[in-house]
Amino acid sequence: MKPIRVGLLGIGTVGAGTFNVLKRNQEEIRRRAGRGIEIVMVADLDTARATELTGGQCEVVNDANLVVDNPDIDIVVELIGGYGIAKTLVLKAIANGKHVVTANKALLALHGTEIFRAAQEKGVMVAFEAAVAGGIPIIKALREGLSANRIEWVAGIINGTTNFILSEMRDQGLDFDTVLKEAQRLGYAEADPTFDIEGVDAAHKATLMSAIAFGIPVQFDRAHVEGITKLSATDIRYAEQLGYRIKLLGIARRTAAGIELRVHPTLIPARRLIANVEGAMNAVLVQGDAVGATLYYGKGAGAEPTASAVIADLVDITRLATADPEHRVPHLAFQPDAMSDIPVLPMSEVTTSYYLRVCVADQLGVLADITRVLADATISIDAMLQKEPDEGKDHTDIILLTHQTQEKNVDAAIARIEALPTVQGKVTRIRLEQLA
Ligand code: NDP
Ligand code: HSE
């Protein structure tokens, strides 16, 4: 059978990785796919670099429209990123009847509904394994491997850049900006690294996982997004003393009232496997009613790990290209006419545990005042740490871990605690998950 013909849009970090792995392992991949998979055309703004990277083995153009309009191309691989030109090109490729592979979580988290609908109507596939957790086949696991289960929750370290920053800051004592620059140099960070450090990239990925896990539309606009920029070394230290690690987690959880969809720094018991995922590694923990907990671990970013996922999608499409569209795996795991309208909950309705750090004057009755406020708000205390004031200081930190409660109870309690005359400044609140 003649090889399937691929057009590559963007030959940057992931594009170059994809070109190299496909070339290096072409024989193995052909034996798996049943036919060869060849990149025959590459579009990139820097054509000189693209020509050098591809060694003159395929046509290089600087106008990506030439690729998506080329009738000889079967599959378009979009590795440009962002939701500007990438969206136009993906929709045009679909309209031209081409299957699409993309690593672009931002595009799908914001415009997935439109893109998947267009693909459905045209009978083509849009595959996006690389969009979540880089080289870890988590999309395939959720969509196919766990399809017997009612998924209860998914929680993951799904941004390599922030995990790398947190690990290096803790282990090497390096400062935030130095580690971020290193993550950029290693090709982990997004074109705009604020997407990484402010939790947006993780929220894109959590949004995609929530859709596949629960059969709901992609709803990035309903996600709660909080990054690591406000996290202080003090809280990382206190968390360690209490037996916890702080990780940026993406969480999607099914509750009776709706879906929790949130990204924020989270205390996790240090003894959990996932708490020990370091550097740019990713890990996703999935709780299914039949299988129980399963954990997926691996490289979440970088050229070849991400290429591994891109090429797995190419193999899948090559195998299924001739299958009747009605009998392919649905883009979002559930059949398009069987999606659920269960709502995504506002953050005030989310239930979790909390780490609270309160800076107080070293005076009689301060702790009693705080615990009374918490009791009034029906918040039960799980653990507490009170430090002696530093030499010459008249204030100190009280750290409280709470049992599970609704976020709105904690909002109300924090407002009352901050109004106490003995409390200095803002209360630091970090959410805590046992992930048991
Ligand atoms: P890069 O910035 O390294 O690569 C993007 C490439 O696209 C560059 O070579 C760029 O050229 C080219 N490009 C930009 N605009 C156009 C255009 N209009 N036409 C043709 N080419 C264009 O990004 P990455 O490879 O890191 O990321 C690609 C995608 O993969 C993104 O969606 C990202 O979120 C996703 N991803 C990345 C991972 C990673 O580890 N890096 C992991 C998982 C997903 P030029 O440089 O000349 O502007
Ligand atoms: N910027 C992303 C990360 C790339 O750091 O995880 C992988 O999606």
Q: Is the CB of 161 under 6 A from ligand 2?
A: yes
Q: Domain 138-299, what fold?
A: Dihydrodipicolinate Reductase; domain 2 (3.30.360)
Whole-number Å distance between alpha carbons of 273 and 47: 44
The residue ranges of every structural domain in the chain are 4-135+303-338, 138-299, 351-432
Least Cα distance to 163 among 356, 302, 350 occurs for 302
Ligand 1 atom at minimum distance from 85 CA: 18
The pTM is what? 0.96
CB neighbours of residue 362 within 10 Å:
13
Ligand 1 atom at minimum distance from 201 CA: 34
- Best residue among 8, 20, 44 to mutate for probing ligand 1's pocket (most ligand atoms within 8 Å of CB) is 44
Q: Domain 4-135+303-338, what fold?
A: Rossmann fold (3.40.50)
Would you say 435 and 287 are in contact if contact means Cβ atoms under 8 Å apart?
no
- The yes-or-no answer on residue 181 being catalytic is no
Which bin fits 97, alpha (ψ -120 to 50), beta or left (φ > 0)? left
Q: What distance in angstroms lies between residue 194's CA and the mean position of ligand 1's atoms?
A: 16
Within 227-287, where are the H helices? 233-241
Q: Is the CB of 127 under 6 A from ligand 1?
A: no
Whole-number Å distance between alpha carbons of 359 and 186: 39
Q: What is residue 141's predicted lDDT score, i.e. its pLDDT?
A: 98
Average pLDDT for consecutive 10-residue bins of the chain (436 residues)?
A: 96 98 97 96 98 96 98 98 97 98 98 97 97 97 98 98 92 88 91 96 98 97 97 91 97 98 98 96 98 97 96 96 84 93 97 98 92 97 90 90 98 98 97 96
User: From the CA of 85, which ligand is nearest?
Assistant: 1
Ligand 1 atom at minimum distance from 303 CA: 40
CATH code reported for the domain at 351-432: 3.30.70.260
Q: Is the CB of 258 under 6 A from ligand 2?
A: no
Buried b (16+ CB within 10 A) or exposed e, 272-297: bebbebbbbbbbbbbbbeeeeeeebb
Three-state SS for 388?
Answer: coil
Whole-number Å distance between alpha carbons of 245 and 238: 10
